[in-house]
Structure 1
């Protein structure tokens, strides 16, 4: 059976709003939570970007659901040794109900310290080394590491969960899926791509969880919902590597002028037709995903949760 979770968007909401949405998600029957990890939002219309680890701590006291970052980049902005400590503490706070989702990140968030933004193959190489460090620190042993990209000296984590934190790796293409299969405990991706799932399984991912996410915009006025989705998340329709290389929210705003409302309407379930929402989530189920996380775009949160509790989740679980 596929699990259905809720995806908390730090780009759109304040810490207090995110905690309240987590409570509503639990009451509506969602089984787990994802939370994004950004330094900037994608555009100024989204308007927020709280520090994810502070919010995770608050979630641990507010709900009983498992939590995962989707996704953290342990490469440039934050050293992997620091990410290891943050993840271990989160897992202790959540009683072991924490997974660390990681990826190779975006210049939008990672270039802020003025360092070079590496090419994609180099970032994959950095991710592999970063996970080696994180996993070694999860053992609780004193760790020193002198690698190609990172140095760690005499580091030891004292606050640790009973079991090492599982690490899921984000991938959007064949090469990244193979890396995820080799170094990850699970796969994260945002498209219901059955071939990517199979590549992960064949590449060594075995029975590790394959997790996917999507955005929707519930509302009683479908056209208004499309406008909201376009205003806030047109950037998701940008092609190629733009999402990884553009350095500032204003650049995403400029590029997103090329994205039309019609393009958004074709790719984001909008409005209050249960069939459209069920069909979008069922595509992940049919592709072999173990978990699907839904994010509601905009301020209409209570209506969304009521809609999913009564008209969407029961059909998906029948």
Structure 2
């Protein structure tokens, strides 16, 4: 592979975390290179209305926000590259990334590859995304004030989202395909004690039902897994809360991962198990998963990387004297 691009800092991923890291790194004079993957812009590009990003009184569009971040990053000196990376070597510096279109060498690496929400995989679910079907109650719950909503799942995330939605809705139904929850006991106790939450046990969603003009979610067809009976649950919002897939396949066996596959970082920093490699955004954050928190950790990663490179260069100068 003859096409080799070398940089002091490479940022893998172009969502809010990666682009914020690029902005800070470029302003620090690191001339970063951002490699955009299969989904440039991350999950924000699939989010329509964004109403909770600081600085905007009106509802803004996710793709527009990403475009503005990218334009700012390029304006201050970031180079954007589109490629799909399929091999990474972080065993020695410079780190080597191999993609479909070229090879990349970096003195420091920021990983901002994100995570994808797990969905049920129903065609009707895909059709209703952005029309009542969501995978983030914190992001979208505000739009369902005073409306009937449902949460699908049985783990910590599902229970937390159901409890959160009671801030906006007086009628929340948790749908779970088993007869017991996997969530922590303390969360279960809070859930069972809440008068605004109803549970549907031994049930699975088989259809997201749309209606009206413009079309929006009006209900869910739910099947009892024991009896096979299908019933209609009238709701205007449905939140799928069955987990996320962090995009860490490239780093398995090369960087420390936690039990859920997220990149491990040192507490209070973005440093991974390999010096010079940093992680930010949803690839290392399985708790908050917000655009603003991703951007915050992107800032941290750029500052951590700048300090690392300064220390390495200082040590090299001392050794040369």
TM-score exceeds 0.5: no
**Which has the larger Rg?**
2
TM-score (norm 1): 0.32
Structure with more of its chain in helix, by fraction: 1
TM-score for the superposition, normalised by structure 2: 0.32
